[in-house]
């Protein structure tokens, strides 16, 4: 019998297996696809990390711990996983992200600068935002390399004794006397605890979560800049901007010869993860090209790449990190709503706490399942 079985070895599951194994637990991690893979939410070459978190102040202490854990993982893996560029949050003065970032910077005494659009372009010439847009620059932001992060967590878990099995699909699981039983297309396994980190497939493995989670199709675009020197990591901070066309996020050139851009809730397409359209279309490109043309015109060159991914959204777009039905045998992490990857390492630590101790040293009250079931 394993001390813990982890279902799903993407961003969150690989981190959970890592932290469980490093604490001495006997771990089995099961992944239905490859490790890493590009069918869920833990891929795309780069994922933003930002410290001045506007979504809720409770995220900032978790992010401080996440930065520590990413640096520890880098040291253990012997490779760079987090690239600091600074980050730009932009919108009108009363937009939720600007109000929230100001409050986070004030409450947690985070270094930052507030710039008008002229000053922002003077410092970072790739940006051409409207005159009525306010920008807050916070120097700690940057991006993670998601595929490499997953591999680093898996390899670290294996070094600590975890068993990781890819291309093995979980058919179902049950709580039983003394623990849990997991059935796959290759065999049955017993464990004292279960950690469910199946991303967009969570609802198929925990039916009571189905009304709480909505998988959504997303598209990422890389465009070759006309002035590539403006879009190097040292001159182009990652961004989250709210403009009349919607909320967009983006990255400097890295690994692909293009600036990367995405739009939150791209075309508002709720999907089944098993049947989602994974092709990219002209309509998808145009959604993102509109933003590039208007606000990053020096990046408006040929398309270099397009990829799909998924968000798995909750109603309030806060995470679910909890014990299912308060059962100490089963921990769940789901519903990361398009902004979760930066937290993978600390979520892994929390899941190890929940599985081994029944509670966490971190404040996770914001992420209770009860808030979604009761409303």
Domains along the sequence of the chain with CATH: 2-43+147-212+316-373 (3.50.50.60), 87-139+214-313 (3.30.9.10)
pLDDT along the chain (375 residues), means of 10: 98 98 98 98 98 97 98 98 98 97 98 98 98 98 98 98 98 95 98 98 94 98 98 98 98 98 98 98 98 98 98 98 90 98 98 97 96 77
CB-based contact 153:73 (threshold 8 Å): yes
Burial class (CB in 10 A: 0-12, 13-18, 19+), 375: exposed
Buried b (16+ CB within 10 A) or exposed e, 271-302: bebeebeeebeeebbebbbebbeebbebbbbe
Q: Residue 374's pLDDT is what?
A: 61
Between CA 28 and CA 34 the distance in angstroms is 16
Task: Give the helix/strand (H/E) hosting 208.
Answer: none
Q: Residue 327's pLDDT is what?
A: 85
Between CA 163 and CA 234 the distance in angstroms is 40
What does pTM read for this prediction? 0.97
Q: Residue 76's pLDDT is what?
A: 98
Q: Residue 54's pLDDT is what?
A: 97
CB-based contact 302:328 (threshold 8 Å): no
* Alpha-carbon dihedral angle through residues 262, 264, 269, 271, given to the nearest 10 degrees: 90
Transcribe 285-308 into DSSP letters.
Answer: HHHHHHHHHHH-GGG-S-EEEEEE
Longest dimension (CA), the chain: 65
Q: Which residues pair with 12 in a beta bridge?
A: none
* Alpha-carbon dihedral angle through residues 343, 345, 151, 203, given to the nearest 10 degrees: -60
Extract the tokens encoding 72: 């520890």
Q: Give the up-direction half-sphere exposure of residue 331: CA atoms within 13 A in the CB hemisphere.
A: 31
Per-state percent for the chain, helix, strand, coil, to nearest 5: 35, 30, 40
């Amino acid at each position: 019998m394993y001390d813990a079985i982890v279902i799903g070895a993407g961003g969150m599951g690989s981190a959970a297996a890592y932290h469980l194994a490093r604490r001495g637990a006997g771990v089995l991690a099961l992944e239905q696809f490859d490790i890493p893979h590009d069918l869920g939410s833990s891929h795309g070459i780069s994922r933003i990390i930002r410290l001045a978190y506007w979504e809720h102040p409770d995220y900032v202490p978790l992010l401080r711990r996440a930065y520590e854990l990413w640096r520890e993982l880098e040291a253990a893996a012997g490779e760079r996983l987090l690239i600091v560029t600074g980050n730009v949050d932009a919108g009108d003065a009363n937009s939720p992200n600007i109000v929230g970032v100001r409050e986070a910077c004030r409450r947690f005494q985070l270094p930052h600068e507030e710039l008008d659009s002229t000053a922002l372009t003077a410092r970072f010439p790739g940006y051409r935002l409207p005159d009525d847009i306010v920008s807050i620059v916070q120097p700690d932001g940057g991006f993670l390399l998601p595929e490499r992060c997953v591999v680093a967590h898996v390899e670290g878990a294996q070094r600590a004794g975890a068993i990781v099995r890819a291309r093995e699909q979980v058919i179902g699981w049950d709580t039983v006397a003394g623990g849990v039983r997991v059935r796959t297309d290759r065999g049955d396994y017993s464990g004292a605890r279960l950690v469910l980190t199946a991303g967009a497939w969570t609802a198929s493995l925990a039916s009571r979560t189905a009304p709480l989670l909505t998988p959504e199709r997303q598209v990422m675009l890389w465009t070759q800049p006309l002035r590539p020197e403006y879009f190097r990591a040292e001159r182009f901070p990652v961004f989250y901007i709210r403009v009349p066309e919607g909320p967009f996020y983006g990255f400097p050139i890295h690994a692909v010869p293009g600036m990367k851009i995405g739009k939150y809730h791209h075309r508002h397409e709720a999907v089944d993860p098993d049947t989602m359209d994974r092709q990219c279309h002209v309509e998808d490109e145009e959604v993102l090209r509109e933003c590039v043309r208007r606000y990053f015109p020096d990046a408006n060159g040929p398309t270099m790449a397009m990829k799909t991914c998924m968000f798995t959204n909750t109603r309030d777009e806060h995470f679910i990190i909890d014990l299912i039905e308060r059962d100490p045998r089963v921990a769940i992490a789901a519903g990361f709503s398009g902004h979760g990857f930066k937290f993978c390492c600390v979520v892994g630590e929390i899941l190890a706490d929940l599985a081994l101790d029944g509670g966490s040293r971190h404040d996770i009250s914001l992420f209770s399942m009860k808030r979604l079931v009761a409303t």
